[in-house]
Structure 1
Amino acid sequence: MAKRVFFSFHYQDVSDFRANAVRNHWLTKSDRESAGYFDASVWEESKKQGDVALKKLINGALVNTSNTCILVGSNTYERPWVRYEILKSFVRGNHILAVHINGIKDKHQKTKALGPNPLAYVGVTYSADGKTGTLWEKIGGEWVQYNKIDGSANFSTSVDSTYRGNGYNLSNFFNVYDWIKDDGYNNFSSWLK
């Protein structure tokens, strides 16, 4: 059965056609079932509606998704809404994966060097009892609490004793793929959970 995937990306990668090469690759398959997913993402341009409206739109788009795929371009890691989408997905329990897309030829048939992994710029610490998680983001080389989800950096959780009292970049928990080198066209559905 096809899974519902929320795609998170920098709008620049849409205008360069890289993000859509991944999001729309199902169009060249016999059906969405063989592609293995349904796209539930929203467009960053909708940010013109304001922060509250965009949060509501993102939160609504995440409903009924089980996977969040970050399409990693050159500056994706810096985008505030990408960070929101990653951390909101993490708190709600989505499986998260990152896919480098700079190896895909853009509209000018050019590629770029891989961009930084956005999952290395967001993280979580767990309380000693494992019942509370605190979200973090890295800004200018410093880790600061991320309180843009429901006004608090803290959320209720229940983690295994091995994680209690420790902090982690989300890159420790989730896989990163390269669309070209890892043959995303044929393997994307196997990366989903």
Structure 2
Amino acid sequence: MPKKLFYSFHFDRDVWRTSQVRNIGSVEGREPVNQNKWEEVKRGGDAAIQRWIDAQMADRDCLVVLIGAETASRPWITYEIKKAWANRIGVFGIRIHKLLDAAGNPCVAGPSPFSDIIAVYDPPGPRSTDAYAHIAQNIAGWVDTAIQHRKRYN
């Protein structure tokens, strides 16, 4: 049975890269939020963003943080990580800097937003296609591992 995921990422900078991961299809997540909807949520201020995140994270099995160049510095990503841990769901990260953006460019690898107990996967290979293939082949197992890992910390 597919797991219910919440993807956390820097929307403005990484939405193109993250859509590649979300479209792999081997795991389930909520429908991606489009830019118009995200702008509408943001106009409601911090309280509206927090309510939206809380509602979207309800009944999820795992938080997948898609780590780009600036992900670790984003306050809402920090909130999502803390919320996931408090909700006792699996948490892990995937570095997406090798995946290409809409203009066909990779980005630099950013720092991890996690402590040492959270796994971060950095797909090997020099090309975007290598990274994508590695993520596609392994993401379902990473989700299962993160869920089992979190259960040990309850």
Q: Which category describes the TM-score, using the shorter chain as reference length?
A: 0.7 to 0.9
| 41 and 96 in structure 1: CA distance in 2 versus 1, 3 angstrom threshold | farther
Letter matched to residue 25 of structure 1? I
Native 8 Å contact 1:5 1:40 kept in 2: no
1:69 aligns with 2:64: yes
| 83 and 40 in structure 1: CA distance in 2 versus 1, 3 angstrom threshold | farther
Corresponding residue SS for 1:112: coil
1:39 aligns with 2:30: yes
CA distance in 2, matches of 1:82, 1:42: 15
Aligned 1:171-190 pairs, distance under 5 A: 171-179=115-123, 180=131, 183-190=134-141
**Number of corresponding residues:** 132
Aligned 1:136-175 pairs, distance under 5 A: 171-175=115-119
CA distance in 1, matches of 2:83, 2:61: 12
Corresponding residue SS for 2:78: helix
CA distance in 1, matches of 2:110, 2:133: 16
Percent identity between the two aligned chains: 30
Q: CA deviation at 1:40?
A: 6.3
1:191 aligns with 2:142: yes
CA distance in 2, matches of 1:189, 1:10: 22
Greater share of helix residues, 1 or 2?
2
Native 8 Å contact 1:5 1:41 kept in 2: no
Larger Rg: 1
Say which of 95, 104, 107 aligns to 2:102.
Answer: 107
1:50 aligns with 2:51: no
TM-score by length of 2: 0.78
CA distance in 1, matches of 2:104, 2:133: 20
Q: Render the CA deviation track for 1:7-63: whole Å, top value 9, x for unaligned.
A: 00001101xx1111112222xxxxxxxx13223665653222211111111111111
Native 8 Å contact 2:6 2:62 kept in 1: yes
Corresponding residue SS for 2:101: coil
Letter matched to residue 176 of structure 1? V
Corresponding residue SS for 2:138: helix
Question: Larger relative CO (CA 8 A, sep 6+): 1 or 2?
Answer: 2
Structure 1 portions without partners, runs of 5+:
27-34, 120-170
Q: Render the CA deviation track for 1:49-97: whole Å, top value 9, x for unaligned.
A: 2111111111111111010010101001111111111111111111100
CA distance in 1, matches of 2:20, 2:56: 20
Native 8 Å contact 1:4 1:40 kept in 2: no
Aligned to 2:150: none
Greater share of strand residues, 1 or 2?
1
TM-score by length of 1: 0.63
Letter matched to residue 19 of structure 1? T
